[in-house]
């Protein structure tokens, strides 16, 4: 079948138009087959945002700006219409559309920022909804925000340096120079004094080195003795432990209780004695025994004096076998009586 030239020309025109349509939609970022979801955002100022600018999520382009116009109901607002090409992308209702600068040249774009802190998301934006919008500070504003405080501090620093320079210039005269030279001389003298002190300290250390070595040797010997006596120390500690165990096992409380009871009984007994009760109390509180003892002593003393003065009255000796009168005493009894009289 032979094809005419007119058909070929018409087919080429149709194909060209189709190619142009595809290229235009591709450049615009629109889908070729099918309709993208559309959303809206409101701003106080467009800040240079234009149609066909990118709509991105985490730095990835997911759509484009379709139009930037004044809000039909409020001329103080700017209504931005944009599309999302990814049909599977679900945007939670707590997400925000940020107007940002996508590069250092200040090209504007919309950045979708999702708040994924919530564990569960129950609602998503639907086609035609208006998202919450936020305007990010542009690069110039951020630079100004960082540079202005630095500029202010720099100016304050320059002012302070100027004051310091003026103060130094006013101070730096002939008198000040002389005072500085005198201060330098004093510093030099002080350094020399410190040097002499260091030399004296070095000599003292060298002299005391022998004593320090001796002290260290004595300490070493003490530690050796302690180490050699460790077994005896251990035995002593064991004995102390055994004694403490014995004391812990013994009925110390019972002994103390018995001692307390004994002291109580003794106190009661002394109370009775003080009150004159019993034989001992009667002896302590009555003078009759003392008087009787004194009287007996006086009688014995009188008897001894009478025996010494008149021994024949009580003892009679017979040399010729005469009849003995009085009390007859043996030789042993006579000797005891003589000793008593001598005393």
Query: For each of the chain's 343 residues, which pLDDT tens digit applies?
Result: 566 777 778 878 888 888 887 676 666 555 555 567 899 999 998 888 888 899 999 888 999 899 999 988 988 999 999 999 888 888 888 889 999 888 777 788 999 998 766 555 568 888 889 988 888 866 566 666 677 777 788 888 888 888 787 776 665 555 656 667 777 778 888 888 878 888 777 777 777 777 777 888 888 888 888 777 777 877 888 888 777 777 666 667 777 888 888 888 888 878 777 776 767 666 666 677 677 777 887 888 887 777 777 766 665 544 444 454 555 556 776 677 677 666 5
* Spatial separation of the C-alpha atoms in residues 161 and 191, rounded to whole Å: 33
Torsion sign over Cα 190, 195, 196, 197? positive
For residue 319, the model assigns a pLDDT of: 45
DSSP letter at 59? T
Whether residue 52 lies inside any domain: the answer is yes
Q: Which of 136, 52, 55 is nearest to 99 (CA)?
A: 136
For residue 282, the model assigns a pLDDT of: 67
**Going by C-beta distance under 8 Å and a sequence separation of 6 or more, which residues neighbour residue 91?**
39, 84, 112, 114, 124, 125, 131
Q: Which of 333, 313, 337 is nearest to 325 (CA)?
A: 313
Q: What stretch of H or E contains 254?
A: helix 252-275
Torsion sign over Cα 154, 160, 163, 167? negative
For residue 136, the model assigns a pLDDT of: 81
The separation between CA 167 and the C-alpha centre of its own chain, rounded to angstroms, equals: 48
Whether residue 320 lies inside any domain: the answer is yes
CB 87 within 8 A of CB 33: no
Whether residue 121 lies inside any domain: the answer is yes
Torsion sign over Cα 213, 214, 220, 224? positive
Among the candidates 136, 162, 195, a domain finishes at 136
Whether residue 174 lies inside any domain: the answer is no
Among the candidates 104, 136, 168, a domain finishes at 136
For residue 59, the model assigns a pLDDT of: 85
CB 282 within 8 A of CB 276: yes
Q: What stretch of H or E contains 21?
A: helix 5-28
Whether residue 162 lies inside any domain: the answer is no
User: What is the number of domains present in the chain?
Assistant: 2
CB 78 within 8 A of CB 71: yes
Whether residue 106 lies inside any domain: the answer is yes
Whether residue 7 lies inside any domain: the answer is no
Whether residue 147 lies inside any domain: the answer is no
Range of the domain at 87: 35-136
Is pTM beyond 0.75? Reply is no
Q: Which of 103, 169, 92 is nearest to 132 (CA)?
A: 92
Tokens of 123: 């609602």
Among the candidates 136, 167, 196, a domain finishes at 136
CB 82 within 8 A of CB 65: yes
Cα angle at 148 between 105 and 139, to 5 degrees?
A: 15
* Spatial separation of the C-alpha atoms in residues 240 and 85, rounded to whole Å: 92
């Amino acid at each position: 079948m032979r094809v005419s030239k007119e058909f070929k020309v018409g087919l080429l025109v149709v194909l060209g138009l189709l190619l142009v349509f595809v290229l235009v939609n591709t450049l615009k970022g629109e889908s070729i087959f099918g309709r993208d979801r559309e959303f809206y955002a409101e701003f106080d100022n467009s800040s240079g945002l234009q149609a066909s600018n990118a709509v991105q999520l985490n730095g990835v382009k997911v759509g484009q700006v379709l139009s930037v116009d004044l809000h039909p109901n409020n001329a103080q607002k700017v209504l931005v219409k944009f599309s999302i090409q990814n049909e599977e992308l679900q945007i939670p209702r707590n997400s925000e559309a940020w107007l940002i600068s996508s590069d250092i040249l200040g090209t504007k774009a919309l950045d979708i920022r999702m708040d994924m802190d919530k564990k569960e998301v129950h609602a998503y934006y639907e086609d035609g909804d208006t998202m919450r919008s936020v305007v990010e500070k542009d690069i110039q504003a951020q630079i100004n925000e960082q540079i202005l405080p630095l500029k202010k501090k720099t100016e304050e620093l320059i002012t302070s340096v100027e004051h310091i320079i003026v103060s130094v210039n006013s101070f730096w005269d002939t008198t000040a120079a002389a005072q500085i030279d005198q201060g330098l001389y004093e510093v030099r003298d002080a350094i020399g004094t410190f040097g002499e002190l260091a030399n004296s300290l070095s000599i003292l250390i060298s002299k005391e080195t022998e004593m320090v070595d001796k002290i260290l040797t004595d300490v070493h010997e003490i530690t050796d003795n302690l180490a050699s006596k460790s077994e005896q120390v251990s035995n002593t500690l064991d004995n102390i432990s055994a004694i403490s165990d014995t004391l812990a096992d013994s009925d110390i409380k019972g002994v103390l209780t018995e001692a307390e009871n004994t002291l109580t009984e003794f106190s009661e007994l002394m109370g009775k004695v003080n009150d004159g009760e019993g034989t001992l109390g009667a002896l302590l509180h009555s003078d009759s025994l003392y008087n009787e003892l004194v009287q007996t002593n006086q009688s014995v003393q009188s008897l001894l004096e009478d025996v010494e003065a008149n021994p024949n009255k009580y003892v009679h000796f017979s040399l010729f076998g005469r009849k003995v009168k009085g009390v007859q005493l043996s030789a042993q009894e006579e000797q005891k009586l003589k000793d008593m009289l001598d005393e």
